[in-house]
Structure 1
C-alpha cells in the first residue's frame, strides 16, 4: 500500500489550520478554514471533517490515504479520553468530548492534545528542538502557552493542565486580571496583548515623547511589533517596556529550567518574531536567575517552524500512536 499521510489540525479561536503530512514530517498540503464557534461550537468538528473530505476528493485521494487526525486544541485536554476540560472562546461546554465528536464526524481515528503541547512536539520533531528530548516550548501570542517535553514525552499532569506557563503568577499583588480568572499571570505581561497594555500605560504616563507616542498619534494604536522595533531603534520608553517584559520572562523561564533542566527552551508565537532583541534581553535575565549548572546546560532558542509547529506536532501524535 502506498505511504499514508496524517491530517494535522491546529484549532484556533478564529481560524483552524489543517495540513496533510507525510510520516517523515513533510507538509504536502496545508490550508485553513474559519472556526465557527456559533451554536455552542457544534459545527467545529463537522466543518473540519468536511474540509478534509473535500481536499482529499480535490486531489484525487480517498480517506484510506489518511492514517488518522491529530489535533491541537486551546485548553487543557484529558489525553486518554480526548475530552477538553474547559475552553474560553470556542463555545463548547466544559468537558466536551472532542475526540469522540471528531472521530464520528470524520470516520477516522483521532488523537487530541493541547495546542501549545502540539507546538512543542512540532519543534521537537522538525524544528528548533532538533531532536532534543528534554524541551520546554513557550508560545508568546495573543496569550502565552507552554508545552513541556521530558524524556521525549509531553508532561500531561493529573488532568492535562501541565505546562500552563502563561498562568504562572508574575505579579503577585495588584496585577492585571487575566482571562483565566486570576490576576498578574505571566500572560498579562508577556503576551502580545500584555506588551501593548504595558506600552499604553507608559505612553499615558508620559504622553509627550518617543516613537510610541508618535505611532499612536499616526495609527491610533500600537502593536507588540512596534514596541520591539522602537526598542531596536534605541527608543527609551520602548526599551523600558522590553526590560520589564524580559525580566518577567527570564525570571519565570529560569525557575522552570531550575525545576526541569531542559536541553532547550524554545520561544515561539508571534511575539518571538521580535528575534534577537527579545532573545538577548531574556537571556540576560535568565542567566541572572538560573542555577549555575542549569545556566550552563540549557539553551534558549527561537522557534523555527512558525505557524506550522502546531499541525506538525498534531501529526506527530498519530505517528507516535502508530509506533506504540
Structure 2
C-alpha cells in the first residue's frame, strides 16, 4: 500500500487543481484544468476522471496505482454523505451528490469536504500547523474562508457550515453588502476585494498625495498588493487601510482564540502573501483583544503551503478515511 498514490483535488469556480500524492504527503505530480460549469456542472467530475487517466498514461502508470480521491469544494458540504448543500459558482443544483458522482466517474473511493476546511487540514498535516491538532485556518483570498480543527478533526457543525469565519459580522450597522446576502461581514473588509474597496473609499475622500494615489492615477485602479507594498514604503493612506484590516482580523481571531484556544491560527490565501507587515499588525490587535491565558498559548502564523494546501488537505481526507 505504501507506494500507491492518492489523488487530491481542489475544485474552484474557474480552475481545478489536481495532484498525485504519496501516503506520506509528498506531492509526486500536480497540474490544473479549467472548471467547466456549463450545463449545471454535469461535466465537472467526468473531466476530472479524464484528466487523471491522461496523466496516469503520461506517467506510464495504471489506475491500480491509485487508492482513492479526496476533494475540496467551495460551499457547505455534508461530510457524511459528500453532498454539496449549495455551490453558487459551479452550476450544480442545491444538494448535489458530489461524492457519489465522483466515485461513479472515477471508480475510486472518495471523500469530499469544504475547500477552506481542506486548506486547514493541509496546513495541519504538512504546513504551518506542523502537526498541531488544534488549529484554525483563515483563508484570505477573493473571499474569506475558514477551517476549524479540534483534536485533529474538522468541526463541521450541524449543517456543514461551521468555520465560516468570513461571515462573522464586523461592521454591525451600515456595512458593505457581502455576496452571502448579509452586510458588514469580515469578508467585506479583509478579502482582496474588501481591501481594495476600503482603499478606494479612503482615496475618494482624502486629498492625499502619495505612492498609492500615484498608482491609482497611473493604472486607473489599485490592488490589495499595491496597498501592502505602499504601506511598507511608508504611504500614510495605505498604512491607514492596513491598520483597519488588521484591527478587524486581530479582533476576530482573538475572539475565535478566546472561544477555542487553538495551538495555532494560520493566515493563508493570496492576501497572506503580504507577509510580516500584515502578520505583525494583526498580532498587535490580537494581543490587545485576547484573554491572557489565550494570548500566552495561541500562536498566529502565516500559512506555508500556498496553493498546495487544498490538494494536500483533500489527500489527507481520503487517507484518513482509508485508514479507518
Distance 1:167 1:53 in 2: 38
Distance 1:34 1:206 in 2: 41
Q: Does 1:284 align with 2:284?
A: yes
Q: Cα distance, 1:294 vs. partner?
A: 0.3
Distance 2:31 2:207 in 1: 43
For residues 208 and 285 of structure 1, do their structure 2 counterparts lie closer, same or farther at Cα, with a shift above 3 Å needed? closer
Distance 2:88 2:235 in 1: 36
Residue 231 of structure 1 is matched in structure 2 by 231
- CA offsets 1:215-268 (integer angstroms, 9 cap, x no match): 011111111010001111110000000010000000000000000000000000
For residues 216 and 320 of structure 1, do their structure 2 counterparts lie closer, same or farther at Cα, with a shift above 3 Å needed? same
Residue 296 of structure 1 is matched in structure 2 by 296
Which is worse superposed, 216-225 or 236-245?
216-225
Residue 52 of structure 1 is matched in structure 2 by 52
Alignment TM-score, normalising by the size of structure 2 = 0.99
Whether contact under 8 Å (1:207, 1:213) holds in the other structure is no
Which is worse superposed, 298-307 or 81-90?
81-90
Distance 1:45 1:177 in 2: 33
Residue 142 of structure 1 is matched in structure 2 by 142
Residue 201 of structure 1 is matched in structure 2 by 201
Residue 175 of structure 1 is matched in structure 2 by 175
Gaps of 5+ in 2: none
Q: Does 1:165 align with 2:162?
A: no
Gaps of 5+ in 1: none
Q: Cα distance, 1:207 vs. partner?
A: 4.8
Q: Cα distance, 1:106 vs. partner?
A: 1.0
Residue 151 of structure 1 is matched in structure 2 by 151
Residue 260 of structure 1 is matched in structure 2 by 260
Q: Cα distance, 1:40 vs. partner?
A: 1.1
Distance 2:156 2:73 in 1: 14
Residue 218 of structure 1 is matched in structure 2 by 218
- CA offsets 1:66-94 (integer angstroms, 9 cap, x no match): 11110000010000000000112111111
Whether contact under 8 Å (2:134, 2:263) holds in the other structure is yes
